[in-house]
A and B are shown apart, each in its own frame.
Chain A
Amino acid sequence: MENIISFSQATVEPIMFYALVLLMVPLAFGVIFDRSIIRAGFILIGVFGTISGIFLLLQAQFLAMAQIMIYAVGITLVVVIALMLTNPTLDEDRAPTQAANRLPGFLIALLVFATIFLAIRSELWPMAPELIQSDPTKAIGYFLLTFYSLPFEFSSILLLAALIGSVMLAKSDRAPMKTEKGNAKALAKSTR
């Protein structure tokens, strides 16, 4: 078993990379251009799935799983629910992009890509690819609880704040409907 896997690692990796890229780039454009915004939300799940494939190629198993669990299922589902709550069918027959921003947006994106690409190309990277951490999960856990425990704690505070803040923002200002009578009143008010 081990023989087959180690033999094919060097040849399979680029093939998998290009396959994932050819899947990822059209999907990423689909997120932006698809007319139906909810379908775009589901396409986003595909993009996150391919990104987790890229993480697997980069020997980051833990992160690939976290990517699927948090991004592809958690965040995207919340996005899709928000889309369904905001009545997307109103905008369906219009173009998904703002006409005035198309050319500046394209130029900005091109400029950003060219800058980053040239910067990457001009750098000589001190490579150490032949070393591989056998258990990256352990290393992550170690650093998370020793050197980086302060940011770790702060991220938990951030999450708590985001939780409370989003509840406060999303809560409607209407009075709570407690009794049947109150319910009817609130309904009458909302229809008026």
Chain B
Amino acid sequence: MTSSTITREIPKPGINFQLYELGKFIRLSLTWLTIIFGAVWIASWLVGVLLPAAIEQFMQGDNAHFIGNVLRALTPIVSVMVFIPINAMFMVLCERRALALFTVRKGPNRVGPDGYLQTAADAVKLLFKEDITPHGADAIMFTLAPIIFFAPSIFGALPLLAAVTADHPLYSFVNLPTGIFYVLAMSSIPVVGLVMGSWASNNKYSLVGGLRSAAQAVSYEIPLVLSIITVCFMAGSLDVVQIARQQAGGLLNWNVFGGGALTHANLGSITSIVAALIMSLSCVILFCMYLIAACAEVNRIPFDLPEAESELVSGYNTEYSGIKFAIFFLAEFTNLFIVSTVATVMFLGCGAAPLPILDEVMVGTVTSLLAWAQNNLGANFGQLGWLINSLINPTTFVAALWVILKVYSLVVFAILVRGTLPRFRIDQLMDFGWKRLIPLSLILLIAITFLKELV
């Protein structure tokens, strides 16, 4: 029978097929993550360490020092510029593969080895498509909109870089005193680009999408900011590095579990223990609230009303094509990444391991490996020995590994939500925002402020 041969060739949709696909998905993610962070790492090493060192070596005087310092100051922006396009390519591929996994399909698997290069091909296609400005559109606004949508995602996440690299000297100067507030202010700008683009397209579907996105952003910004403010109250600071540092030392010190309320609770008094328990519970609720509001802020399903493909064609980006559409696409995925990073830094302990002992072991291993490399390789290359040492900062390396793990877990969680939930209706969305989330966030703000004193 032909059917039996077919069943032998293609694994039946069952647990084996799913495990096989899951293995492929994990392999793909690991490969892409290695490419992304290898590229970012090498780029920032070149700009921040190697080039300034070479310039100061071969050019004498104050000028060389000045140029070297300028290059070092450029490191954060260069690493962000390198990171954003590659990361967006990976996230699109990851999203398609993961959705395929959740709906028992195969996903893109033709371009390159097992579909690894699918989004690279998509990007090339988008760049070569014709860039159309529709008839009757406001040309200046139409061009400006994707830029306004995209620019904040470059500059907005800079203070977070200091936190996720554990205050590495090359990145520590982007750590502003108003750190997290700056990130929030910048992440509120993109909606202006959406409304602008939707109005300038001279298209009714776009306009409806833009109006929806404006209403949604204005409503969901409040619970988002309030949940972040609650964390700032707990930490007593707006400085992201300080907030990240306070969460070091184990799972229970993370803000999502009460920010050390459980470990600092006075075991002698009942009040203190109960307060600590309630506080950790409210922090978990707070974290969920942040995730919901952030999901709405970056227009992901179930809050993707602005682009709602089945109702509004494609909402605000109906009329966009070619490179402008690519920029919209890029910014959307970068924003998802940024809100996940904010969640990691504010709630999930940033670069801290779940168990403090893990951190020590990992840093120790990396340090001893480095020392070994220094002794065996550095001796042979003479002066270049310090270059190897400057390549890896053990603390930063371990912290970055944990941050990558946490952030991409949140991204995969967002994709899981996308694959699971249907879209809100606009009135349900408004009701949920104003009648549930905002009162809940205010209650939590007051409750956590009081509980913090009781613990």
Contact = CB atoms under 8 A, between A and B. Distances in A.
A81 B211 contact: yes
Given A42-B141, A84-B211, A135-B177, A72 B73 contact: no
Nearest to A43: B141
A73 to B, nearest CB: 5
Interface in A58-81: 61-62, 65-66, 68-69, 72-74, 76-78, 80-81
Interface stretch (B82-90, B188-196, B409-417): B188-196
Q: Name B's interface SS.
A: helix
A85 to B, nearest CB: 9
A42 B214 CA distance: 13
Nearest to B178: A61
A68 B69 contact: no
A135 B242 CA distance: 15
Interface string B172-192: 010011100110111011011
A185 B131 CA distance: 47
Nearest to A68: B185
B199 interface: yes
Counting chain B residues whose Cβ lies within 8 A of the other chain, the interface size class is 20 to 34
Contact of B141 (A39, A72, A74, A84): A39
Counting chain A residues whose Cβ lies within 8 A of the other chain, the interface size class is 20 to 34
Contacts of B221: 74
B70 A74 contact: no
Contact of A73 (B173, B177, B192): B192
Interface string A15-56: 000000000000000000000101100100100000000000
Contacts, number: 67
A137 interface: yes
A82 B393 CA distance: 53
B406 interface: no
A65 B182 contact: yes
B177 A77 contact: no
A81 B178 CA distance: 30
B199 A38 contact: yes
Nearest to B188: A73
Contacts of A4: 66, 69-70, 73
A81 B214 contact: yes
Contacts of A3: 69
Task: List 8 A-B pairs, minimum CB-CB distance, nearest first.
Answer: A65-B185, A69-B185, A68-B185, A73-B188, A61-B178, A77-B214, A65-B181, A1-B173
24 contacts: A1-B73, A3-B69, A4-B69, A4-B70, A39-B141, A42-B192, A45-B192, A61-B177, A62-B178, A62-B181, A65-B178, A65-B182, A68-B185, A68-B189, A69-B185, A69-B188, A72-B189, A73-B188, A74-B188, A77-B214, A77-B217, A77-B218, A80-B199, A81-B211
Interface of B: 66, 69-70, 72-73, 138, 141, 173, 176-178, 181-182, 184-186, 188-189, 191-192, 195-196, 199, 207, 211, 214-215, 217-218, 221, 238
Interface of A: 1, 3-4, 36, 38-39, 42, 45, 61-62, 65-66, 68-69, 72-74, 76-78, 80-81, 84, 135, 137
